[in-house]
Amino acid sequence: MSHVDSLIGVYEREVARTDRWNPSLARLERIWIAVYPPAQERQVRARMEGFHLATQQAHHSWEALDLGHDFAQWLGSQEYREAYFEDPDSLDLALDDFMDTLVERVNTALRANPQGMVALYSLPSLFGLLRVSALLDRLEPEREGRVLALMPGDYENGNLRFLNARDGWNYLSVVLRVDY
């Protein structure tokens, strides 16, 4: 069995647990993070249907958000995009606006899918622009809804490291992983 198949199996068991869908859970407990080796990113993206089917079999709705093009779309809509290309350092000031736009996109999907799972994938496209931990901190899943962040990285001793590249953060969400 491949690593991705094993991760889907872990997800399948968790999504079927009724206690994971208790509406009285804290906001952070409604955010799930599936952690896998960065080298598996393409395989995870290719197998998104497995997560979708597991969610449907557990009688929950599913919406997947590919965040891979969000920055390019946001940048293309900016009045000062040409100035950002001439002076990329000036973009740092505008990244708060990009974060706000991204948070609103995800929270809109969460409001539209209040009792289901909203999956976030292509998170590596955000690397160097914003911290995934900051994005997850600002999400507001409904009491019965959940977020699944598909995150390439590492999880060790309660510490998550996105793409194994940054110091990790201690996150209180549900972490799904396969030991490798």
Question: Per-residue pLDDT tens for 14-67?
Answer: 999 999 999 999 888 999 999 999 999 999 999 999 999 999 999 999 999 999
C-alpha span between 153 and 168 (Å, rounded): 10
What does the domain layout of the chain look like in residue ranges? 3-177
CA distances from 156 to 41, 55, 99, 160, 179 (A): 19, 27, 27, 7, 10
Asked if pLDDT for residue 166 goes beyond 70, the answer is: no
Task: Pick left, alpha or beta for residue 117 (phi over 0 → left; psi -120 to 50 → alpha; otherwise beta).
Answer: beta
Q: Is 51 helix (H, G, I), strand (E, B) or coil?
A: helix
Which token pair is 141? 């899943």
Average of per-residue pLDDT across 132-145 = 88
Confidence of residue 167 (pLDDT cuts 50, 70, 90): low
The reported pTM is 0.92
pLDDT of residue 169: 66
Architecture per CATH, domain 3-177, reads as 3-Layer(aba) Sandwich (3.40)
Please answer whether residues 26 and 166 qualify as being in contact, where contact means their C-beta atoms are separated by less than 8 angstroms.
no
Neighbours of 89 (CB within 10 A): 7
User: Which of 115, 123, 146, 107 lies closest to 45 in space, CA to CA?
Assistant: 123
